[in-house]
Structure formats: structure tokens, C-alpha cells
Structure 1
Amino acid sequence: MTTAHIPAPFPARATRLRTFFRIAERSISAQACLSIIKTSPPFDSGIEASIARLPARNQRITSILRPQYVPPLRETASRSAPPRIECHPRPRAVREEPPVPPVIGITSFDEHKNRSAYVSINATYPYSVSAAGGLPLVLPGPSGLASGAELAEAAAAFVRRLDGLVLSGGGDVCPYLYGEAASGGVARMDSGRDRWELALFAAAQARGLPLLGICRGCQVVNVALGGTLYQDIPAQVPTAGGHSFDVPMDEPAHYIDIVPGTRLGHLFADARILVNSFHHQAIKDVAPGLVVSARALDGIVEAVESPDPDRFLVAVQFHPEGMTRRFPEFLAPFEALVTSASS
């Protein structure tokens, strides 16, 4: 019978060790046990253990006493008192969170009906942003903000929380913003929205925020940077073809020619594409800092962009968001916006 003589103050440990030795003595080397007990903390050096020599079969005592995932124990108390054992558990694996999509703000307009006011937007905008991998966030209007300073402060607060911005379509831009009086062809003007989107654009420019302008948004970009508009294409450009059609949003209306080498040219495989068309205003004088990237066959500007390769600023007169379900290639401007917003 193998015994282990362990002096006080370790009676409980002695019982456990005797039980362990009785179980282990048939399968381990006695010399290995003795060596480990004499050299392994927290056992006191005064412990005497006598173990009958047995045939050495394996060295499993090492893995039993010291599993690989448990760090070595160390004695921190004096030899005159029971040792305090410190054990540091294996750290848990850190759970990786999925990447957060870039937040893309989309401008809206106020709509009054049924004795209530609504923040409205065509559902195809958030759908297209989401399909491109972004997280759409509909931006409400200025909500009673009066002064330019208040608008600028509110716009800057919004933009700080965005990774990209879409200036959406809507009514006509007020001509006084580009130094002209309103003609008879101008309709559905909203000066509050004009001032709010100009403030958003200025805040986005200051941060270098990736920006996509669509239809009215294209015109806002041009006016914000100092350009002008045709207030009414049929009245001011009688030779122009049709640009405002009463058809579904995904119905192609006319061709546009994309300028080779532009950012827009890299987004579409063909230099001439069919687009939808729902506008009666268009860019007249292109603003400084912008270049034309597409024209209709009648010469009307259909897209502008920043020539800076490090600045994603693209504005189109057609509505790509209205064609993405039927023609997936029109998702390209939104994918480019989201990609730029992710970097």
C-alpha cells in the first residue's frame, strides 16, 4: 500500500493526495510522482512522501496535475501559514462584431395632407442605398429653424453623424438663389428646403463627405457652387427634346452620352445609356469646380462631378434609384457612394 505522510496544517490535502495516489499508483511511475511532488508548488518542501516503486507505464501525472490551459500555481503565503493559491483562468475568445455599414443621409421634403405634416421621400432612395450596402437615414427638414446660423449649426450636427449624403429629387430650386427673377415656368418652389439643403451641402463640403445629387439634387449642387439653371427647358431651349415624361420611374426615356475618363464613365460599361427623365429644369452655366460628365443628345447637361479624384461628388439629372430594380446597373452610383463612404 502506498502512503503519503503530510504534516499539519494540510490534513484535507493529505486525504486528497492519498486518494489520488491510490488511483494513480497502478498506471504511473512512482519516481515520476515523487519528482513532481517534490518540485511542484504549492507543496511545502517539508512534505515527505514515500511511494512504492511501480513499473513506469506513462507520465500522465504531468497532464493530470498541470493541464495545459491552467497556468502554474504559485505560493504567495509564508511557510508558516497555509498557502494562498492564485489561478488565472484562460482568457475567453473575443467575439467579433459584424462591420457597421456606412450611414448615408437622404434629404426629404415636408408634405401636408389630411390635416397633418409628413416627412416624405420616395421609397426607392433608401432601397437603393440599402441594396448598395449602406445604412439609409432619412433627414427631416429644418423644422422651423430661421436664421442662417441655426441652419448651419443643425446641418453640421447632422453631417458629423453621416458617412455619405444623397441630395434627393423634388420641386424647383428658387431662381433668386442664382441671381434671377422667377419666370412663369417655375413651380413647386420651397425656399425652406432650398436653404436647408444648401446648408447641408456646405457642411458636407467642409468635411469632404461623399455626396450624390439626383435630379433636383444635381441642380442644388450646381447652384451651391455658383452655377445657374434653366428655369424651364421648353421655354428657354426650344430645340431641346423631351425631358419630363408622365411614365413609371423605371421607364427609359432618352439617351445620354457619358464623357470618357470621368468618374461616371467608370461606373457604366457603355458610353451611351438610356435613362429615365422627369425634369423641366437643368444646369445652364456649370459652376466652378465641376465638370460635365454626361449630356443628353440635345446638349442638355445630364451629369456633373468634381474633377478631384479624392473627392466623391457626383450629381446626375436622371433618377437612377427609380431604375435599380429593373436595371441593376443603375445601382452603380449608389455602390460607388457607399464604397467611398466606407473608406
Structure 2
Amino acid sequence: MQGHVSPMLALVEVTRFREDDQAYHEYVQILVGRTIAAAERAGWRVTRLAAHDLGTDALLASTDGASAVVIMGGADIDPAQYGGTTGYRAEGQHFPEADRAQLAVARRAAERGTPLLGICRGHQIINVALGGTLVQDLGEHSAHRNEGVPVDESMTPHEVELDASSALAFRLGARHLQVQSAHHQSVGELGEGLRAVAWASDGTVEAIEHRTLPITGVQWHPEDPGTVDDQLGLLLGGLAREAERAAA
């Protein structure tokens, strides 16, 4: 990156306040902290923002000058945003204002061509923002999340296969990865302009990217401490290169 002032990366989470679940709150701090540290190593000046706490207008204003955006993991997206229904198995808490705010940021990124990376929920936000749907539950015995365990044990390792022609495979330098995931939902019908570029062995879509815009989503958690290689650093480094191209 050039210049004396590092470009701004907007790191957007659901909320900074989780008084009702201290264990989950503490685990989120680890994941977010690791992402911030990796982004700073990649040359970013990171601004941490919470969608639920700020609301749509304030989040849009706070991210207006960002060179790139990362939308982090978190709660299930309100089914009303993608034509789904409530009452599904393992339904989690919803944050409708966070949904609206993050969806607005993702749509503006697409309109402007701002580089955008979505992680887990953020990956799903990208798909819903561009008109896609979600599979509401992968089932009690899916290989994508450990259930009935403490939150810091919910991640489960599994293999994903990447499309060799994808920008994501080029960025990560691999066609096969072991990843850490903890999700019970997944991308369903793809949003406009998106294509699936990674899959688990059960066919679950594990990554998406836009066909023409610098927008990528990964369903897994590259920021988890159990990740076996520098997936997060490679993703954030690629985001930096996309930001340089967008600014040129």
C-alpha cells in the first residue's frame, strides 16, 4: 500500500453488547481481535463498528470513507429479509436493525465497487443483499457445527473444495482447504451476479464471489484460532490489493 496514511478497513459486527451471554461475548472478542490484528499486519487502519448499536444511517455514514469492508459472523438473519419463515430448528436470536444496516452496507459496496469480504453471517448477508436466499437449517447431525457444547468448542474442522478458476482459489493458493466452521445455515439460491466457488463434501456452499465486483464471502471462520494456516492473512491481503485497484 502507498502513502503515509493507511487506508481504512471498516470491520462490521452485529453488536458490541451481549450481556445475556458472557461466554459468547468473550469468544467474539477473540475472533474480532484476531481479525483486527491480521488486518493491521496487512496494512489496514481498522475501524470497528456494530450494526445493531449504530443503526442503518449511522453505519452507512461511518463506513462511507472506507476503502474496504469486512462483515463478521454472528446471529441468524431475520427470515423476513429473504422470504423465509420463523420457527425453524435451532433458530437463534435475531437483530433486525443489524440486518437492515449490514444489508445496506453490502448493497452500497456493490453499487460503488467497494471491496467487501463476508465471514459466516457476513457471507450470508452478501447473498441476501443481492437477492439470494438461505437454507434455514442444515440439520441436527450436520458436520458444520458442534451443538450442545460450550461456545468455544462449537467450531468443527472439515474440508472444502475450491473452484480452481476462482479468484478465491488464487488468493488462497489452494484448491482444497481444511476450515473451521460453526454454522447451521447456508447459502441457498444465489444472489444476482454471485457464483458459488467452494463446497463442503455434503454439497453445502462454502464460499461465493461476485462475477465482476470485488465481493467475496466465506462460510467458514478463517479468524478462528484453530485454523491450520494463514487463511485470514491471505484473505485480508487480497482485500488490500482489491482496494488498491479500486482506488487507481
User: Do the structures match in fold with TM over 0.5?
Assistant: yes
Unaligned stretches of 5+ residues in structure 1: 1-96, 146-150
Amino acid at match of 2:202: D
Give, in angstroms, the shift of residue 292 of structure 1: 0.5
What's the counterpart of residue 319 of structure 1?
221
Give, in angstroms, the shift of residue 225 of structure 1: 0.7
What's the counterpart of residue 259 of structure 1?
163
What's the counterpart of residue 76 of structure 1?
none
Alpha-carbon distance change, 191 to 250 in structure 1, aligned in 2, over 3 angstroms: closer
Alpha-carbon distance change, 249 to 264 in structure 1, aligned in 2, over 3 angstroms: farther
In terms of Rg, which structure is larger?
1
Higher RCO (C-alpha under 8 Å, 6+ residues apart): 2
Equivalent positions of 1:116-195 (< 5 A) are 121=29, 122-143=32-53, 145=55, 151=56, 153-185=57-89, 186-195=91-100
Q: 2: distance between equivalents of 1:164 and 1:187?
A: 29
Task: Output one character per residue of 1:197-229: Cα deviation in whole Å (capped at 9) or x when no partner.
Answer: 112112222221100000000011111111111
Q: 2: distance between equivalents of 1:143 and 1:137?
A: 15
Alpha-carbon distance change, 286 to 322 in structure 1, aligned in 2, over 3 angstroms: same
What SS is found at the alignment partner of 1:137? strand
Unaligned stretches of 5+ residues in structure 2: none
Task: Output one character per residue of 1:149-199: Cα deviation in whole Å (capped at 9) or x when no partner.
Answer: xx3x43442232211000100010111111121133211211111111112
What's the counterpart of residue 303 of structure 1?
207
What SS is found at the alignment partner of 2:223? helix
Give, in angstroms, the shift of residue 127 of structure 1: 1.5
Task: Output one character per residue of 1:107-131: Cα deviation in whole Å (capped at 9) or x when no partner.
Answer: 12142429xxx9x753122112112
* Alignment TM-score, normalising by the size of structure 1: 0.62
| Structure 1: 4+ residue segments shifted above 6 A | 249-252
What SS is found at the alignment partner of 2:51? coil
Q: 2: distance between equivalents of 1:291 and 1:333?
A: 18
Alpha-carbon distance change, 251 to 278 in structure 1, aligned in 2, over 3 angstroms: closer
Q: 2: distance between equivalents of 1:214 and 1:283?
A: 12
Q: 1: distance between equivalents of 2:238 and 2:46?
A: 15
Q: 2: distance between equivalents of 1:250 and 1:124?
A: 18
Q: 2: distance between equivalents of 1:104 and 1:324?
A: 24
Alpha-carbon distance change, 137 to 288 in structure 1, aligned in 2, over 3 angstroms: same
Q: 1: distance between equivalents of 2:153 and 2:242?
A: 26
Q: Work out whether residues 39 and 236 of structure 2, in 8 Å CA contact, stay in contact via their aligned partners in 1.
A: yes
Alpha-carbon distance change, 332 to 252 in structure 1, aligned in 2, over 3 angstroms: farther
Give, in angstroms, the shift of residue 342 of structure 1: 2.9
Q: 1: distance between equivalents of 2:72 and 2:11?
A: 7
Calculate the aligned-residue CA RMSD, in Å.
2.6
What's the counterpart of residue 143 of structure 2?
242
Task: Indicate which of 152, 163, 175 corresponds to 1:271.
Answer: 175
Q: 1: distance between equivalents of 2:188 and 2:51?
A: 27
What's the counterpart of residue 186 of structure 2?
282
What's the counterpart of residue 211 of structure 1?
116
What SS is found at the alignment partner of 1:205? helix
* Alignment TM-score, normalising by the size of structure 2: 0.83
What SS is found at the alignment partner of 1:288? coil
What SS is found at the alignment partner of 1:234? coil
Equivalent positions of 1:50-89 (< 5 A) are none
Alpha-carbon distance change, 133 to 252 in structure 1, aligned in 2, over 3 angstroms: farther
Q: Work out whether residues 60 and 101 of structure 2, in 8 Å CA contact, stay in contact via their aligned partners in 1.
A: no
The number of equivalent residue pairs is 231
Task: Output one character per residue of 1:267-297: Cα deviation in whole Å (capped at 9) or x when no partner.
Answer: 1222111000110110111112100010001
Q: 2: distance between equivalents of 1:269 and 1:144?
A: 37
What's the counterpart of residue 236 of structure 2?
334
Q: 1: distance between equivalents of 2:168 and 2:18?
A: 36
What SS is found at the alignment partner of 2:181? coil
